[in-house]
Amino acid sequence: MSKKRQGSKSGGYGNPPQHSQFKPGESGNPNGRPPKSRNTKKMLDEMLSEKVTVTLGKRRTRVSRLEVMVRAAIKKAAQGDLRAFRNVVRWTDEFTDCAEERSMVKVRPAAPKPSSMHRLYQQLYEEARAEIEASEAAGSPNGDVEH
């Protein structure tokens, strides 16, 4: 067998020439890995989970933008905005089912089942929908009075 050449300036398989080897502290990829592209879903998730400072009651607190949006929708629904009301009822239906599934797996404590408040929202929604249909049948779209 031949002796290994140590300190050889010539190269070979698995033994590059010393002049072309990286110096200590020098990287083989100085620019690093390129950043991953941010798609729309990732940007939306980041923006909605970002914390903002808001005043709740008399206290200032930091909550996510998504929580601010949901609170605003619930407030508008309580003031009589029918579109916001529909969204809140739909969210209630959608997310109470999810909460019940999670409670079966024991990830979280069991969420309360849809309450009388939910039934009240549903009843109010149906009454508002009946009024809209009645006004459309009467010839006045959206209940607006023609000028």
pLDDT at 107: 47
Would residue 49 count as lying in a domain? yes
pLDDT at 11: 72
The predicted-structure confidence for 27-70, as pLDDT tens digits, reads as follows 788 888 888 877 888 889 999 999 999 998 889 999 999 989 98
Would residue 16 count as lying in a domain? no
Would residue 10 count as lying in a domain? no
Angle, in degrees to the nearest 10, between helices 116-137 and 82-105: 150
Would residue 24 count as lying in a domain? no
CB atoms within 10 A of CB 54: 14
Dihedral-angle region of residue 30 (phi above 0 means left; psi in -120 to 50 means alpha; beta otherwise): alpha
pLDDT at 131: 83
pLDDT at 147: 41
Would residue 83 count as lying in a domain? yes
> For residue 74, what are the domain limits?
45-138
pLDDT at 112: 53
The predicted-structure confidence for 97-142, as pLDDT tens digits, reads as follows 655 555 554 445 555 555 666 777 777 788 888 888 888 888 755 5
Would residue 143 count as lying in a domain? no
